[in-house]
Amino acid sequence: MRSIYYGNAQQVRGVEEYYLAEGKASGIHMMRVRNGIGMEVEVCLDRCADITRVTFRGDNLGYFSPAGYVAPTYYDANGAEMIRSFTGGFLTTCGLDNVGLPCEIDGIRYPLHGRISNQPAEHCYWIETEDEFIIYATIRQAGLLMEKLELVRKISIGKLENTICVKDRITNCGQDETPCMILYHMNIGYPLLSEHAILDIPAQNIKARNTFAEECIEQWKVIEEPGSLKEEACYFHDFIMDGFARLFNPDINKGIEIRFDAKKLNCFTQWKMMGKYDYVMGLEPGNCLPNGRKQATEEGKLVLLKEQEDVTYRIDIKIVEE
């Protein structure tokens, strides 16, 4: 609906495309969406069309790593080197050949959290409807005598409500049955994340990833101040019905809710990193745990796609106030 108060809708809302210009970020293709009711969303098209920033009425909601924006050109797939190009952002997509620990299987090396988040998107465009802005992008992870996977992403950003919906369709475009691992590495940062924030994950079961996390398991939902934990702690949550996580900070009267189909995305990882200068809470739905492809293979837990078979995943995010 047009308004008589302005002649150009960009005065209050809209989508803008731009390129970054400095350092390792030089040349990165971005889209910024302002929904007109307080929310701004930045999408990095050159990094799997991941969501790098979400702000609401001036307050940052996501996490931005010390590495900042890093173009795919600088991506290093060796071992855990991807951390040096890990922007973090509000959403980093992990997969599609590996999630979690780097490993080697039959002479093939699989890097930390896979390769898809460092693949530039193709066929990127946006449309506007009466209720939302929609960004479309296609990301391919394919090679000769290798996997041939295509991810078609649709990001819907509400104009009437402060909502984000990420819907992915992943297709095996090759003839061989191919594993498909995915984890939505959603990262919450300051000022939404602080020692006064309240976390709610109504799971049925909680399991610690390692000995250190087990020692702190009674504090899994407590958000401490920076520097309070000596290392990261990860917890795995099981849902019976719908997946849900909520983090709210009364200091800024803002929070987010995340919803997902826990039958399809049947693994949920909570990542607590309460370090000084490395302060982040990851809320991460996935179809696997971040223990690496080797362990998933040994346990028979890989999602496999046959020739031309596809699978669809969806994450719904809502900004909340009280």
pLDDT digits (tens, 9 = 90+) for 283-305: 999 999 999 999 999 999 999 99
Predicted confidence band of residue 2 (pLDDT cuts 50, 70, 90): confident
DSSP string, 116-159: GGGSPPEEEEEEE-SSEEEEEEEEEEE-TTS-EEEEEEEEEEES
Integer Cα distance of 87 and 68 in angstroms: 5
pLDDT digits (tens, 9 = 90+) for 230-281: 899 999 999 988 999 999 999 999 999 999 999 999 999 999 999 999 999 9
Predicted confidence band of residue 229 (pLDDT cuts 50, 70, 90): confident
> CA 51 from chain center: how many Å?
7
Once rounded to an integer, what is the mean pLDDT over residues 126-133?
97
Q: What is the pTM of this model?
A: 0.97
Which domains are seen in the chain, by residue range?
9-320 (2.70.98.10)
pLDDT digits (tens, 9 = 90+) for 153-208: 999 999 999 999 999 999 999 999 999 999 999 999 999 999 999 999 999 999 99
pLDDT digits (tens, 9 = 90+) for 266-280: 999 999 999 999 999
Nearest Cα residue to 203 out of 169, 166, 233, 246: 246
Q: CA angle, 217 as apex, 212 and 222 as ends, to 5°? A: 110
Integer Cα distance of 95 and 117 in angstroms: 8
Beta-carbon-side half-sphere exposure of residue 30 (alpha carbons within 13 Å): 20
First to last CA, the chain: 29
Residues in the chain, overall count: 322
pLDDT greater than 70 at residue 133: yes
Q: Output the pLDDT for position 1.
A: 65
Integer Cα distance of 312 and 38 in angstroms: 30
